[in-house]
Amino acid sequence: MTARLNERSEPDISGLRIDGDRLWASLMQLARIGATEKGGVCRLALTDLDGQGRDLVRRWATELGCTVRVDAIGNLFMRRAGTRDDLPPVMAGSHIDTQPTGGKFDGNYGVLAGIEVLRTLNERGIRTEAPLEVVAWTNEEGSRFVPVMMGSGVFAGAFTLEHALAQRDREGVSVAEALDRIGYAGRQPDGPVPVRAYFEAHIEQGPVLEAHDTVIGAVQGALGQRWYDVIIQGQEAHAGPTPMAMRRDALLAAARLIQSVNDIALRHAPHGRGTVGWIDSFPNSRNVIPGRVRLTVDLRAADDQVLDAMDQALAQACSELGEGGGLSVSLEPVVYFPPQAFDPELVGLVGEYAERLSYSVMPVISGAGHDAVYLARVAPSAMIFVPCKNGISHNEVEDAQPDHLEAGCNVLLHAMLRIAGVGAIDRSAS
């Protein structure tokens, strides 16, 4: 199954396991930086708290003997040397920035699972042939700076370093200024950085695994996304004297469009998604018919043909809404992420090791964007999902079971070893 990436036979390390208690303790220690009263975490990208989190993860990596490199967008690469350090590294990672009302596990789990893999290998005296790298990507969440998935996007060439560094937050602070302030303005490499394989362990952020009582999700790929800004222009008027049939009610039209968005997604099951997540009504007064509504639309699907069909259906719905009735509807596309399939061999490897380790496993599709989506453009990539309680994420009550996190990390350990190869084992190690 993985012959293209690694054809050599390896020593028997089937009994190798990570320390689940240690992984949990590390997650809880990192979660104290930016902890909220409700049990979550607020550690926005490139704030002082993010700097403290980076410092902690960096210290853990240095204690393991890793060399640390920071690139110009602040991505943090922690490298454990291999017996053939000339080979491209096998990477694991995610992010440690959070939403304003974020949880302890989103992103953080992927970075600390990688650190736990390195700790386990150090304890057992196992040296891989290819080097291993754990990476913490900059500004995945996009809560303070846009675009989202900024660090991995720059790394993969989705947008330029100059564009990313120039972005500003609501207070006018640029990414470049924020990086410099927290001490994470690094140096850009001279050329492309080769990656042999990239793995990202992550909580599912949805309810599917829990609903199927399954521990491991072998992620086939990520949904494509199209985002839009919509403006519906009608006419504000007095709520009392204006007869119903003579109104140009922009909010009523918006309600119909919201229903259309939902219907479009339902018509493209099982992976179609349609969401109106933000709405602004003007003048927003109790006794005034709304004259203008602005809203956002988020469409998602697993392949481009379906996503294109949903796009056309939305355009048609907007066109019909503007026909007659004195309304105008503006539909502006603002974001497009194509659907991204992950590497079939690495996905197969996730499933194979889940079964070998006696964990239940099922194929899943990621409805959210992740750093692995950009990494898949430049290297073989795969994701390992574990359940989160009630499917809730981007929320302070976000939660996951310690044994599930341990299971995902064990799959990560063996998948990384399979690709990197075992170069040497110190039998005297504990």
* Mode of pairing for the β-strands spanning 292-301 and 279-282: antiparallel
Res 12: pLDDT: 80
Domains of the chain: 20-222+339-425 (3.40.630.10), 224-337 (3.30.70.360)
d(CA 149, CA 140): 4
Region of 125 on the Ramachandran plot (φ > 0 left; ψ -120 to 50 alpha; else beta) = left
Res 1: pLDDT: 38
Cα-flanking dihedrals φ and ψ of residue 237, to 5°?
-160, 165
Q: Which two tokens stand for residue 138?
A: 């900059």
pLDDT exceeds cutoff 60 at 408: yes
Judge whether 144 and 45 are in contact, CB under 8 Å.
yes
d(CA 61, CA 89): 16
Cα-flanking dihedrals φ and ψ of residue 299, to 5°?
-110, 140
Best CA proximity match to 73, nearest among 132, 183, 151: 151
Q: Which two tokens stand for residue 415?
A: 């998948």
d(CA 314, CA 321): 11
d(CA 151, CA 99): 16
pLDDT band at 426 (very low <50, low <70, confident <90, very high): confident
Res 430: pLDDT: 61
Q: Please give the average per-residue pLDDT across 106-123, as a whole number.
A: 98
Q: Please give the average per-residue pLDDT across 56-78, as a whole number.
A: 98
Q: Please give the average per-residue pLDDT across 163-180, as a whole number.
A: 97
- Tell me the pTM: 0.91
Summarize pLDDT for 245-260 with one digit per residue, the tens: 999 999 999 999 999 9
Question: What is the DSSP code (8-state) at residue 82?
Answer: -
- 94, with CB counted inside 10 A (0-12, 13-18, 19+), is buried
**Mean pLDDT over all residues of the chain?**
95
Res 100: pLDDT: 96
CA angle 3, 136, 180 (to 5 degrees): 140
pLDDT band at 2 (very low <50, low <70, confident <90, very high): very low
pLDDT exceeds cutoff 60 at 95: yes
Residue 166: Cβ within 10 Å count: 11
pLDDT exceeds cutoff 60 at 385: yes
pLDDT band at 215 (very low <50, low <70, confident <90, very high): very high
Q: Please give the average per-residue pLDDT across 339-361, as a whole number.
A: 98
Looking at the chain, how many residues does it have?
A: 430
pLDDT band at 5 (very low <50, low <70, confident <90, very high): low
pLDDT exceeds cutoff 70 at 10: no
Q: Please give the average per-residue pLDDT across 228-244, as a whole number.
A: 97
pLDDT exceeds cutoff 70 at 9: no
Res 3: pLDDT: 42
Query: Residues with Cβ < 8 Å from 128, sequence gap 6 or more?
Result: 80, 82, 83, 90, 121, 416, 417, 420, 421, 422, 423
pLDDT exceeds cutoff 50 at 63: yes
d(CA 326, CA 324): 6
Summarize pLDDT for 248-299 with one digit per residue, the tens: 999 999 999 999 999 999 999 999 999 999 999 999 999 999 999 999 999 9
